[in-house]
Amino acid sequence: MAQAYYWHRFYSQQPDLNFANPEVRREATRILDFWLDMGVDGLRLDAIPYLFEAEGTNCENLPQTHEFLKTLRAHIDTKYEGRFLLAEANQWPEDAAAYFGDGDECNMCFHFPLMPRLFMALQMEERYPVVDILQQTPLLPDGSQWALFLRNHDELTLEMVTDEERDYMYRFYARDHQARINLGIRRRLAPLLGHDRARIELLNILLLSLPGTPVLYYGDELGMGDNVYLGDRNGVRTPMQWSADRNAGFSTANPQQLYLPPIIDPLAHYENVNVETQLQNPSSLLRWTQRVLALRHRHQVFGRGDLEVLQLDNPHVLAYLRCHEDQVVLVVANLSRHAQFVELDLSRYQGVTPVELFGHTSFASISDQPYVLTLGPHGYYWLAIESTYAEPVLVPTVQLGGRAFADVFGERFEDELAGAIARYLPAQRWYQGKDRRLREVQVVDTVPLEVAGVDAAAIVVAEAHFSAGEAERYAMPLVVTPDTGSTEYDRASPGAPVARLSRRGADGVLRDGMALPETVVALYRLVRRRRPLATLDGGRLHPVATPALRRLAPAEPVTVALGRAEQSNSSAVLGSRLIVKLFRRLPSGINPEQEIGELLTNRGFPAAPRLAAALELHAGGERSTLLAAHELVPNEGDAWSRSLDDLGRRLEAAAASVTAGAPPAPAPLPSNEDLVRISRDEPPTADDEMAAVAERIGCRLGELHRMLGDASNGRAFAPEPVTKLYQRSIQQSMRNRVHQTYAVLGQRRAQLGDAQPLADLVLANRPAVVDAILRITQIPITGQRIRIHGDLHLGQVLWTGKDAVIIDFEGEPLRPVGERRIKRSPFRDVAGMLRSFEYATHVARAELAARGVMTEDEAVLDALTSAWYTTAAHAFLHGYLETVETAPFVAGDDKEIVAALDTYGLEKALYEVDYELRSRPEWAGVPLRGVLRLAGIDPVAAR
């Protein structure tokens, strides 16, 4: 402001202010330096053709102007890398292009003639006005670009049109004479287009896909109105409408003191059209604008590509190709208010499958015949020619210029950061969208983080949007470390680069911080301090501590052992008594891991780790669990590893036994009815170590259910009765699960290799699976519904050498948090554990077969694994049923228990098929066999 005043004082002291005056030019350069030193990226040169004056001329386009611009450009290029000059030259394209010079004057220039012709083409429903002006637009020097716009802070100028065209524009866009001013129309975009959302979108689609840099005028992204009854051009300069509050949130002053009043036209009243309201509506014009801008930003072809207008028979459709290096995008726009079809000559791309960029939907492949497209009224397509649209192999680079590394986490570089994350996410083990086409990633929140030894750090919350299905949020602690110069890396490796950061003075690498012990320590300190931390988007990171934190928290400096196991979250051990788990996926709602952990800790349940603390993200009125810190339980390994070791030893012994000529008799796996019966009638095998472990797991699970089913735990845990209506809902839920699983199975069948025959058998027997569901869910079930573990298997049980400890109460990771918190029959956990015992038999066989120590006699293997399963399942079920014998949530008789186990066993097997197909297709054969067995179908037919 002081500098502006200084320029005003200098101006008043120079009665003959002319840029031919060396002192004037020096002073202009000083003021230019002031603003560029402040960090301004570019300067708009107003009415640049009239910069100099000369007697006997109209002072337009004088040679002195171009000489001075060259001097100015050289000065900026020498001192300020990456800054630009934008010329406002309201002239025909060939005249305005002169202000680019030979690439040594202005970097950009407004393309005034294109603007009115976009409106003309829309009203005429004909592409000719746009195609004609594009043909008249000259090629530019390297590094130069047009600035394209639909509106600016003045009027929609009609100087660069013919008298006839100006009359046409007045007749259709300024019927109200109050809207006319000078040689233009003083209206904002939405009123110009009658507040027609389809027409607004269409013009923006053209603006964002034509060659050049789009310039958006404030308010047009909302559909703001105007006030043509204000004087001069003030009707389009009214206050920005931030909210429905006083003065549209623009000012808290007395409304009478405002320089210009906010819009109160009923059609565009600021209480209805404002940023706050539209941010809350995912279908609003503002949200659409954000998405399309992010999409454009991810595809350099729009900013840098060449243009080729396609010749069409249908005059109502405009189509052109944008090409840059190996990227080709086809843009098709229907200028008509009626549906249209068009035939395109794309034979040069024969065999290629176009992909629609907004939904990532694959279209029909291109052949040597005309490519036919149908468009709705004012419809449009951005189609990537997929085979020439490969993802970059190297790490993307973010150009920071002179900014600090920490600025990469700010709003300015939000799109670049989102684009880098979009390339990084799919290679991560914890990314759960591998089965869907990733459409875009948005950075929705950022939490600054202090991490020792790095240049900058933050927790970034990124939202992944897909071509189908719900969006998913992910938590990514990111750190900036020095750049080592390596260009090759394993994207799935811990700490793999997310992006390279290029800035003056030094380069850096943006990495996943969970590969650094220092990041874990920083997160731990957030918990220890117990003070909320504000996010950049107005949310809070809120620590939650239990009484166990004081007893378990290690003293600083703390040692950190990073978790290396393949899992859906990231974990690390702090000291010797605490394990920290970062939840990568952040669905809305408190994670059951935190909720159940707090309950069990407060109640002193001995067979689960104590929860020490958690970090919650509070944003947009919702809470999500970001991190949980638990007691580290000393153990000898999980029950899954113990089961595989035990089974492996038995199978190896069996192989030797077969060689000696003493094979056991074949036997199938027992049914749930047989298991329940023998668990009631017979005690477990006394001298079998695995039986003792399984029985203890059953006892501990029963104790867990008794505690979770205690009515005194509060509303969130209060038991609920099993009604006929709920039982019918179970049947419908399972039908839904069948539909989801079969849809994925049909899509992934070709990827299953040796498991294809099993998949074919399951696919062919869909009616039998549905009949099994109907059969087993029609048996009346009494008892109660309670909160349960939700994802119980052998890997969720630690063996201490004497006892079983149940861990990981997060629930099934593919399900939403709200679904995981639903109260269900406790026999769902029991059925899950039985499925895990069966899983172990298949995996152990496969592992030993891979080592070449197995017999080829399938009957021998079936007999041995069946005997092991029977022993373990019998002992587990015996321990559980004895523990919960008198509990109110237990079904009335064994027939109901068997029905519950059959129901939830089949449901679990279907879920496992879905999970393995998405995450580990090579394991899909195991749950496929489970589906067949539980549905009463002989899987031998698939061998």
- Active site positions, annotated: 46, 88
Distance, in Å, from the CA atom of 704 to the CA atom of 938, rounded to the nearest integer, reads: 36
- Range list of H helices, 316-451: 414-424
What is the layout of strands, in order, in the sheet containing 184-185? 156-157, 184-185, 180-181
Residue in the block written with tokens 């989102």: 418
Q: Is 718 left (phi over 0), alpha (psi -120 to 50) or beta?
A: beta
Assess whether the previous peptide bond of 557 is cis (omega < 30° from 0).
Answer: yes
CA nearest neighbour of 554 among 519, 579, 581, 517: 579
- CA 699 and chain centroid, separation: 42
What residues are paired with 458 via a beta bridge?
Answer: 448, 478
Structure tokens at 609: 């780790």
Type of residue numbered 202: L
Other CB atoms within a 10 A radius of the CB of residue 363 amount to 15
**What are the CA-CA distances from residue 899 to residues 108, 891, 896 (Å)?**
73, 10, 5
- 744 in Cβ contact with 850 (< 8 Å): no
Length of the chain: 943
Q: Is residue 766 packed enough to be buried (19+ CB in 10 Å), middle (13-18) or exposed (0-12)?
A: middle
Distance, in Å, from the CA atom of 818 to the CA atom of 839, rounded to the nearest integer, reads: 28
Distance, in Å, from the CA atom of 261 to the CA atom of 230, rounded to the nearest integer, reads: 9
What residues are paired with 580 via a beta bridge?
Answer: 572, 629
| Secondary structure of residue 474 in the 3-state scheme | strand
- Range list of H helices, 779-857: 817-820, 827-850
Distance, in Å, from the CA atom of 744 to the CA atom of 915, rounded to the nearest integer, reads: 10
Distance, in Å, from the CA atom of 729 to the CA atom of 712, rounded to the nearest integer, reads: 27
CA dihedral 853, 859, 860, 863 (to 10 degrees): 130
What ranges make up the beta strands (E) of 78-125?
Answer: 84-87, 108-110
- 830 in Cβ contact with 701 (< 8 Å): yes
